Amino acid sequence: MSPPTCRLLELEAPWRHPELIAQIDAIFWQTAARTFAPGAERDAFRERWLGRYLRGGDVVLVALAEGAGVVGYLVGALTNPSAEARFADIAYFAEDFAALTWRFPAHLHINLDAGFRSQGIGAALIEAFAARAKRAGAAGMHAVTGKGQRNVGFYVRCGFSERAAAIWNGREIVFLGREL
Ligand SMILES: CC(C)(COP(=O)(O)OP(=O)(O)OC[C@H]1O[C@@H](n2cnc3c(N)ncnc32)[C@H](O)[C@@H]1OP(=O)(O)O)[C@@H](O)C(=O)NCCC(=O)NCCS
């Protein structure tokens, strides 16, 4: 099967695109490792990993495939999260990785629809974010994931390397940093 024709778009004012946000949400819940009953816990989970990046001021990139709409997204922030009160709920920034977030301040969360993985779309989203973060003056960028997860190989091929590990919520996580 040949890869789909895909274009990347940055949503500078995400609230103006409710139909695209709905598609981002669908991918977010499809890839979430947990399921939730409707309620405060579910809302807090979405807010932590997606919602807060959609209000403007952060980076929102979508991959659009012809005839399929949004098939993947990347959300991220450009400045050091361990120095920002709005990320205080994610303890690993300040408690485990603060020395590294100064060197690799931009951070990202990326997810693709299952039918569109392993076709290079994720790597294209990472390169678009890298260019965006570099333009904004970030010295580096990072992602945090579970140690030994399949996506670690993806980040390494995108130029990241493992800089540190920690235990968070009872599981081993790794900090993957790339200089810009
Ligand atoms: C990780 C992900 C963004 C990569 O995007 P992609 O377009 O599939 O990536 P590319 O085609 O550029 O590279 C393929 C690599 O992606 C990763 N990947 C592919 N499918 C994956 C999956 N179901 N779960 C985790 N990683 C996956 C693998 O590292 C793969 O390389 P491999 O086949 O040698 O293992 C995408 O696969 C995805 O959304 N996976 C599920 C959610 C996820 O892991 N998000 C990152 C959270 S930190």
pLDDT at position 3: 59
Q: Which residues contact residue 104 at a Cβ distance below 8 angstroms, ignoring those fewer than 6 apart?
A: 139, 140, 141, 142, 163, 175, 177, 178, 179
61, 129 contact by CB (below 8 A): yes
Q: Looking at ligand 1, which residue's alpha carbon is closest to its atom 6?
A: 122
Neighbours of 138 (CB within 10 A): 22
Q: Looking at ligand 1, which residue's alpha carbon is closest to its atom 1?
A: 151
pTM above 0.75, yes or no: yes
What does the pLDDT profile of the chain (180 residues) look like in tens digits? 455 689 999 999 999 999 999 999 999 999 998 899 999 999 999 999 999 999 999 999 999 999 889 999 999 999 999 999 999 999 999 999 999 999 999 999 999 999 999 999 999 999 999 999 999 999 999 999 999 999 999 999 999 999 999 999 999 999 999 999
The residues that bridge with 166 in the sheet, in sequence order, are 173
For a ligand 1 pocket test, name from 154, 162, 178 the mutation site with the most ligand atoms within 8 angstroms of its C-beta: 154
- Give the Å distance between the CA of 105 and the centre of ligand 1: 23
126, 75 contact by CB (below 8 A): no
Report the run of H or E that residue 176 belongs to, with start and end. Answer: strand 171-179
6-179, superfamily in CATH?
Gcn5-related N-acetyltransferase (GNAT) (3.40.630.30)
Say how far apart CA 62 and CA 18 lie, in whole Å: 13
Q: Which two tokens stand for residue 1?
A: 């099967």
Strands, DSSP E only, in the chain?
Answer: 6-10, 59-65, 69-77, 106-112, 140-146, 161-168, 171-179
Cβ of 118 closer than 6 Å to ligand 1, yes or no, is: yes
pLDDT at position 2: 56
pLDDT at position 8: 97
Neighbours of 133 (CB within 10 A): 25
Q: Which two tokens stand for residue 94?
A: 């300040």
